[in-house]
Structures are given as structure tokens and as C-alpha cells.
């Protein structure tokens, strides 16, 4: 923070410095006494709130025009939280008591907006960070952003918090013959409701929670969906023995090793759902919790899709080989006509595209190189929140740790400044 005070002093007393920093050809420079947080989703809001509670100010930059833009702008209408609300609340503020166990999309957005109001978090919207890098000579971070009009700003800060998360950009796979297909092809980030597909044959690619739920939504709107299952998948009931499957798992893990809990979950799932392999949904060799722990791959929590698969309302298909004009050729050699294709192929991190740093974050996938729970802190005041592959629980853990760490530095610098 001494270097920031030195620069602020130069800016206040050196006309040449002011002229240099404010030339029209260069971005306007803003000195930030606290951290810059990139991203105003749940991760960025949680970190800003924890910092605010400790008396540390922050600047939150958001490329969209609202908080939680993924939830507000890129999710389907019927979406609900897949886990009970007590496992999805952010630090320092729970959900309203009158919310259901599994809040709707709008209820979750309302909660996040109330959260931002309570902690007076005011993100700078429509500011896209194009580059962030550490200045080794002056020992601070330079974060460059631009707004919708192309106006550029450079934020100078001691700490940088990467809160863009795991779902920054849609993953769109390359499919042979895509240019030939004359039907509608879209990612789930552009899917809202099955209403517009009523009466149509729709192929959903991807059998995670989103793909399964989109198929169910299509069925409920009298479309005719098929589901491409490219890999093994664990399908578990959302609730078992009168409790949420996730909550029961967390409770059992207090007393039993993970493999025993996995065995218990699979036995109960087989009793409740039957053998999913009979319907084209082969299970992985590793148990659901062990697989989640090692790879981050989340099991599907069934909300009614499996029943539609069993009844034949949803057809399970193998991987796609290529697309034709209005048809899809599958790897097993069969060809079938479809009116539309929806890609439930997930999201990816976009950190390597703007953060000029390779020690903490991998250039390959944009995730911290250190595995959970040690991936939240890097070097030179760099932090990551929301990259744990453990949902909002992981986000809350990261946010608290980051705030505590920055608070220690903040207080130490404040004491040093008083000497």
C-alpha cells in the first residue's frame, strides 16, 4: 500500500504525471485502496460482502448490466436450485424463511439482489476486463477495462480477486457437418422454455443436470426430445429416506469413509430408480462422491426425467458422428431427423483470455493449479473465488478465507502507515 500512497501523491502534486495518465490515447487511471473483484456473480458478491463486514472497501467490475448475469440472462425458466437452500446461502445472510427448500431461479436472483443491497455492493456494470497483470516494478496490479462505448479505464490495486468462476463462457463442441444442418442449433445458455419447440423433434446433447432438465421441460411442452449420452453418468434421486441426497451424504461423511457412503447411495438409488444402465445410462466405475471429489463431475439429481426415459417419452441416443441438412448420424450408424439441437455441453473458465499470469491459473482450463481447498490464494495479492467445483458451498469457503487474508494485510499496512 506504500506504493499506492506514493502514486496517489504523485498524481496529486505532479502535473506532468496527471497529463501523462489522462491522455486521450491512454485509459483513465483509478487508484483503488482495496481489492478489485472481477465478476458480480455469487462469488464476487460473497467476497465483497465479507470484505465489507471487515471494513475493507472493494471495487467490483461486471461485464454485464446486472448481478448474477448467468442466472438472470442465460438460464432456462424452470430452473431451481438443485440443492436445498441451506447449502446454497452466501456468507452472513441466509435465505428468507418462507422460501421453499429448492428456491426457483427468480427467488435465487431476488436473494442475490437483496444480498447486494444489504451490504451496499454497487458493481460497475458494463465494464469488461480486457487485461490484468502484475507490475513487478511498482508492485501492484493493473486491471484494464472498457465499457460499451469503448471508454477505457485502468484500475491500480494492491489485491486482485478473480471471481469470474467456472461458468464464464459456453462450451460449444465442434460437430462435423454443423454448417449443413438447417434446423435450430443453440446452447442451453440461449434456451428459455420448451414452448417454442412444441410438437418438434429436439436432440439434447449432454446428460448432466441441465441436459436432463431441459429434456423434461421439452416433454412438459409436448415436444419430442432425445438425449445424447456420450459418457457414463451417476443418476441419483434428489431425495432419499425423507432427506435431500446431498444433505444425507454430508451427514454420513461425518461418520463413514467416502467409499462406504458411495456404496450406500448406489444401493438406495438402485432400489428407488432401478438399474439405469438398462435405459442407456451406464454408471462410472467410481462412486458419485469419489468421482466428484477427484474430477468435479457432479452426479445428476433426478427431478422426473428418468421416469420419462423409462416410459419412452425421452429417447437415449449415442454420440453424434455428423450432422446433415435436417438429420443426425450417430456413431452406431443410425440416422434420424430432428428439427432442433440443444447443446447442454456446459461452460468453461475464461481467465486465460484476460489474466496475464500463469503461476496460479492453468492456461489449459483456466482453473487454479492447486487443488481444493488450496486454490484460493496465489502470489502478489492474487486470489480466486468460485473455482472449487463445489458449488456455492465452495464459494462461501473461498470468500471467507480471502476476506480474512486481505484483512490481515489491510490492518498491517494501516499500522505501518500510522508510524
Angle of the 105-118 helix axis to the 42-53 helix axis, nearest 10: 30
Give the integer Cα–Cα distance in Å for 14 and 88: 50
Average the pLDDT over 78-103 and give the result.
95
Per residue in 24-42, pLDDT (tens digit) is 457 789 999 999 999 999 9
Domains located in the chain, CATH noted: 2-168+349-418 (3.50.50.60), 171-343 (3.50.50.60)
Q: Residue 41 class from Cβ within 10 Å (0-12 exposed, 13-18 middle, 19+ buried)?
A: buried
**Cα(260)–Cα(252) distance, integer angstroms:** 9
Q: What is the pTM of this model?
A: 0.90
Q: Which of 399, 352, 345, 348 is nearest to 376 (CA)?
A: 399
Task: Say if residue 13's pLDDT is above 80.
Answer: no
Residue with cell 441438412: 325
pLDDT digits (tens, 9 = 90+) for 29-82: 999 999 999 999 999 999 999 999 999 999 999 999 999 999 999 999 999 999
Q: What are phi and psi of 152, to 5 degrees?
A: -105, 145
The pLDDT score that the predictor gives to residue 18 is 45
CA pair distance 359, 375, nearest whole angstrom: 11
Q: What share of the chain is helix, strand, coil (3-state, %, to 5)?
A: 35, 20, 40
Query: Mean pLDDT across the stretch 400-413?
Result: 91
Amino acid at each position: 500500500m506504500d506504493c499506492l500512497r506514493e502514486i496517489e501523491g504523485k498524481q496529486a502534486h505532479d502535473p506532468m504525471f496527471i497529463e501523462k495518465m489522462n491522455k486521450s490515447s491512454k485509459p483513465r487511471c483509478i487508484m483503488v485502496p482495496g481489492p478489485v473483484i472481477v465478476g458480480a456473480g455469487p462469488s464476487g458478491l460473497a467476497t465483497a460482502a465479507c470484505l465489507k463486514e471487515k471494513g475493507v472497501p472493494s471495487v467490483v467490475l461486471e461485464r454485464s448490466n446486472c448481478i448474477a448475469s448467468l442466472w438472470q440472462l442465460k438460464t432456462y425458466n424452470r430452473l431451481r436450485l438443485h440443492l436445498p437452500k441451506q447449502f446454497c446461502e452466501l456468507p452472513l445472510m441466509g435465505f428468507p424463511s418462507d422460501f421453499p427448500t429448492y428456491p426457483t431461479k427468480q427467488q435465487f436472483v431476488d436473494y442475490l439482489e437483496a444480498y447486494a443491497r444489504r451490504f451496499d455492493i454497487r458493481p460497475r456494470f458494463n465494464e469488461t476486463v480486457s487485461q490484468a497483470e502484475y507490475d513487478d516494478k511498482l508492485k501492484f496490479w493493473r486491471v484494464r477495462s472498457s465499457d460499451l462505448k469503448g471508454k477505457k479505464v485502468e484500475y491500480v490495486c494492491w489485491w486482485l480477486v478473480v471471481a469470474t468462476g467456472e461458468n464464464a463462457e459456453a462450451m460449444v463442441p465442434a460437430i462435423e457437418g454443423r454448417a449443413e444442418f438447417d434446423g435450430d442449433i443453440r446452447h442451453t445458455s440461449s434456451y428459455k422454455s420448451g414452448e417454442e419447440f412444441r410438437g418438434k423433434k429436439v436432440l439434447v446433447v449432454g446428460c448432466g443436470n441441465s441436459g436432463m432438465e431441459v429434456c423434461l421441460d421439452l416433454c412438459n411442452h409436448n415436444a419430442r426430445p432425445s438425449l445424447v449420452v456420450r459418457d457414463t453418468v451417476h443418476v441419483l434421486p434428489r431425495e432419499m429416506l425423507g432427506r435431500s441426497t446431498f444433505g444425507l451424504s454430508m451427514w454420513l461423511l461425518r461418520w463413514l469413509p467416502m467409499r462406504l457412503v458411495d456404496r450406500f447411495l448406489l444401493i438406495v438409488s438402485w432400489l428407488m430408480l432401478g438399474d439405469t444402465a438398462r435405459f442407456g445410462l451406464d454408471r462410472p466405475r467410481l462412486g458419485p462422491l469419489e468421482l466428484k471429489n477427484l474430477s468435479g463431475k457432479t452426479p445428476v439429481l433426478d427431478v422426473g426425467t428418468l421416469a420419462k426415459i423409462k416410459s419412452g417419452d425421452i429417447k437415449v441416443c449415442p454420440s453424434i458422428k455428423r450432422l446433415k441438412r435436417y438429420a443426425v448420424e450417430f456413431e452406431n450408424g443410425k440416422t434420424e431427423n430432428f428439427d432442433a439441437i440443444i447443446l447442454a455441453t456446459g461452460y468453461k473458465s475464461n481467465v486465460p483470455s484476460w489474466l496475464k499470469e500463469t503461476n496460479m491459473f492453468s492456461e489449459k482450463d483456466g482453473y487454479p493449479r492447486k487443488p481444493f481447498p488450496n486454490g484460493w490464494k496465489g502470489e502478489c495479492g492474487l486470489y480466486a473465488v468460485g473455482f472449487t467445483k463445489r458449488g456455492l458451498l465452495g464459494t462461501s469457503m473461498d470468500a471467507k478465507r480471502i476476506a480474512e487474508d486481505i484483512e490481515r494485510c489491510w490492518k498491517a499496512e494501516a499500522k505501518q502507515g500510522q508510524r
